[in-house]
Amino acid sequence: MIKKCLFPAAGYGTRFLPATKAIPKEMLPIVNKPLIQYGVEEAIEAGIYNMAIVTGRGKRALEDHFDISYELEHQIKNTNKEGYLKDIRNLLKCCNFSYTRQMEMKGLGHAILCGETLIGNEAFAVILSDDLCDSGEEKGVLAQMCEVYKKYRCSIVAIEEVAIEDVSKYGIISGRKMDENVFVIDDMIEKPSKEKAPSNLAIIGRYILTPDIFEILSHTAPGKNGEIQITDALLEQCKKGMVLGYRFKGIRYDCGSIDGFVRATNVFYEKTLKG
């Protein structure tokens, strides 16, 4: 049903300076794998094999990662290190990668709008790589959302409960429960104060969007922090049709923060030790 996944990857990653001065934040490794590769693998698990990446200046490493390194391949061929490239080789065989640039940093909504040329007129997924999701024995978060999309055929955002003290860090939704873990959204606010937050259900970095979102984004005025917010565009979609919030099964690590990055590293390191 969903054939393309968009990865907005043009941000500066300022919370990780000076590390991200020359390295894209999406290339920061959790153990031995960069964040964006975890996102691509989640998309593959959901049956999506066309990856559309919105990059910016200084992001060449993303394109190099999803490409063949002939010199490296030659150096480690027939050695015990060759197996380290098995996963990325398999990924390159099954996926198509396309790229476009976001020339100005005008917010997530603008980054998604920049991806229109890669997506076209079809529903698509969005993954924010610095939200690393671990679903354990469950299907991945995006695979869960694709099942919801098959049933309802509308835009869907992944949501989770957060502490009321943290609502100012997220887009917050309100709505009525329609199905198990599925909410019909009637309002959403970008980074509200805890006094103005309609709930503690926060939008995290997983979306399925219908193609009309591009037209809405093209007419969306700058909002919070002078940026084009995807939250504002989704609220407009709510008024015209239906947008759902899906409370996913799994754990999200905010790897855009140092605390979340360290927690994810420790958890995924323990997983490698267990095989």
Contact residues for 212 (Cβ-Cβ < 8 A; gap 6+)? 237, 240
Q: What is the DSSP letter of 242?
A: -
Band of residue 275 on the pLDDT scale cut at 50, 70, 90: low
- Three state DSSP letters for 135-184: CCCCCCHHHHHHHHHHHHCCEEEEEEECCHHHHHHCEEEEEEEEECCEEE
More confident residue, 214 or 91: 214
Tell whether omega for the bond before 18 is within 30 degrees of 0, i.e. cis.
yes
The confidence score (pLDDT) of residue 12 equals: 82
Q: What six digits make up the tokens of 4?
A: 């393309």
| Helix, coil or strand: residue 52 | strand
Residue 188 near residue 238, CB atoms below 8 Å: yes
- CA distance between the termini of the chain: 33
Whole-number Å distance between alpha carbons of 128 and 233: 17
More confident residue, 65 or 72: 65
What is the phi/psi pair of residue 273, to 5°? Answer: -65, -30
The pTM for the full model equals 0.93
Mean pLDDT for the chain?
Answer: 91
Tens-place pLDDT, residues 68-127: 887 887 777 778 777 777 888 888 899 999 999 998 888 899 999 999 999 999 999 999
Contact residues for 177 (Cβ-Cβ < 8 A; gap 6+)? 183
Question: Quick one: CA dihedral 180, 126, 240, 193, positive or negative?
Answer: positive
Band of residue 136 on the pLDDT scale cut at 50, 70, 90: confident
